Structure 1
Amino acid sequence: MSASQAAEVVRMGVLGHVPPMSYRNAQGEFVGYSVDMARAVCQDLGWTCQWVPTSLATVADELKQGQLDVAAMSLLSTPERRSHMLFARPYYTSISAWVARPGVALEAPGTRVAVVQGSAQARFAQSRQWTLVEVKTHTELAQQLAQGRVDGLLAPMMTVVGLMAAQPLQSLQLQVQPRRDPELTGAASFGISPMRPELKPLIDGALERLERNGVYDKINSRYLPFKVN
């Protein structure tokens, strides 16, 4: 490891309300599957992680403009995102899920669907004849459904795992339907600023080492009851 590499401070964009992937614990610290993976990468490379709160709606522009070095979150590779960022080696395979009360069909035209602004799910929903209710955070998805403002929500399965384990959805009798549409399924990766292309091979190498030495599995077991990578 070089001295310049050891001195590197990397600005990591993170989400704060997406358990079990990325959220703040009781002490206000960023934790979660994606955050701990990013933290392990920084430790492997001798970097100092600087955690920067961001959102799915703004992270692509922040990477493109060099305001962030890395987006430490699970991003699907969409055409729009590829024009704004580089993608690191995938660290798990993502699918989405439709969550609604029993009997509510996602395919019905005019269905009111809650999605996070800037997400792959929002892009997918825009191509259908659905009524979109876009929110800024994943926490608001649950609120919209619990308050009856939407018929259902569409989100990554890992996000749904977290939402279903907490109020306000835990007490509701909801159906969870996995969605494997091509637009909603694929390799999830960290985003990298195009102004920092030298970071990609370093991050890719670190992720490969973490998979080989068992750190992947330890982090997986810490947050999820099943294996995702």
Structure 2
Amino acid sequence: MLAVVGLAHGAERVLKVGVIHHSPPMSYVDASGGLTGFNVEVMRELCKELAARCETVVLTLDRVVDAVAAGEVDFAAVSLLVTPERRARLLLTKPYYRSISVWFARPGVKPGEARVAVVKGGIQARYAQARGWAQLPFDNHEAIFGALATGQAQATLLPMANAVALQQDPRMSAQGLASTVVQDPELAGDAALGVNPRDRALLDKLNDAIDEIKRDGRFDRINTRFIPFRLQ
């Protein structure tokens, strides 16, 4: 009997999961030094559904697609806007919410007229580059907040959830930044998780797990905990 128990325990699947730090409220290190955030807690519930032990691997956003495509991680607990380029390299789960982008700048500063802070590897960075805007690329959203607070950057383009975190950051209150939702299809759409392209079985299990945590209310509870609006 002990041998059987040991075999069962040994058969537990270990999944490597890519996460990014310093991207509140989606994933960040809290005051106690623990990793948390909307995507981190969603990941933990998905791993429970998969009955798997998940080990996190810290990545920067510009490394996420490459790491998943190369099999360095089994999946990434990162909101990836679904694009044809990403579909060509990764397996993508069913969408778990829709994302839009927000322009933040001092009043009167328009896109293309100022240095815009962006996160390397993000859709927003690609959008700014394609339009020839003067960019200040950073590894994470926390660095963007700091650049705006010190005046190093005059504007930023962020996903909606990160934009809300920026609005709530006490360093921003004195900056007088105005926000505008950017109505461009390139900056809006379905957000999904990236999965190792050689593991379609894992993709199917993650899709089932997403359905389950939405069905039983766990997704909504995580949403309420970290984001002051309902993700759809």
TM-score (norm. length: structure 1): 0.92
Shift of 1:6: 6.9
1:154 and 2:154 matched: no
Give CA-to-partner distance per residue, 1:104-137, whole Å, 9 cap, x none. 112xx45321110000001111111311111111
1:78 and 2:83 matched: yes
Aligned match of 1:133 in 127, 132, 136? 136
Change (3 A) 1:224 1:6: farther
2:94 maps to a residue whose letter is R
Counterpart CA distance in 1 for 2:167 and 2:72 is 33
Structure 2 runs not aligned, ≥5 long = 1-7
Change (3 A) 1:35 1:69: same
CA-based RMSD of the aligned residues comes to 1.7
Bigger Rg, which one: 2
CA contact (8 A) 1:110 1:129 kept: no
Counterpart CA distance in 2 for 1:31 and 1:170 is 25
Aligned match of 1:89 in 90, 94, 112? 94
Shift of 1:171: 2.9
1:222 and 2:202 matched: no
2:202 maps to a residue whose letter is L
Counterpart CA distance in 2 for 1:58 and 1:189 is 16
CA contact (8 A) 2:24 2:142 kept: no
Counterpart CA distance in 1 for 2:56 and 2:183 is 32
Counterpart CA distance in 1 for 2:15 and 2:183 is 34
Give CA-to-partner distance per residue, 1:166-186, whole Å, 9 cap, x none. 243233211011113111101
Give CA-to-partner distance per residue, 1:203-225, whole Å, 9 cap, x none. 00010111111111111111122
1:118 and 2:126 matched: no
Aligned match of 2:37 in 32, 38, 43? 32
1:179 maps to a residue whose letter is V
Q: Which 10-residue stretch deviates more, 55-64 or 6-15?
A: 6-15
1:189 and 2:185 matched: no
Shift of 1:5: 11
Structure 1 runs not aligned, ≥5 long = none
Question: In the alignment, which residue of structure 2 is the partner of 1:103?
Answer: 108
CA contact (8 A) 2:91 2:196 kept: yes
CA contact (8 A) 1:135 1:141 kept: yes
Change (3 A) 1:204 1:118: same
DSSP-derived class of the 1:219 partner? helix
Counterpart CA distance in 2 for 1:226 and 1:72 is 20
Question: In the alignment, which residue of structure 2 is the partner of 1:180?
Answer: 183
Give CA-to-partner distance per residue, 1:74-99, whole Å, 9 cap, x none. 11022332232111111111001011
1:26 maps to a residue whose letter is A
Higher helix share: 2
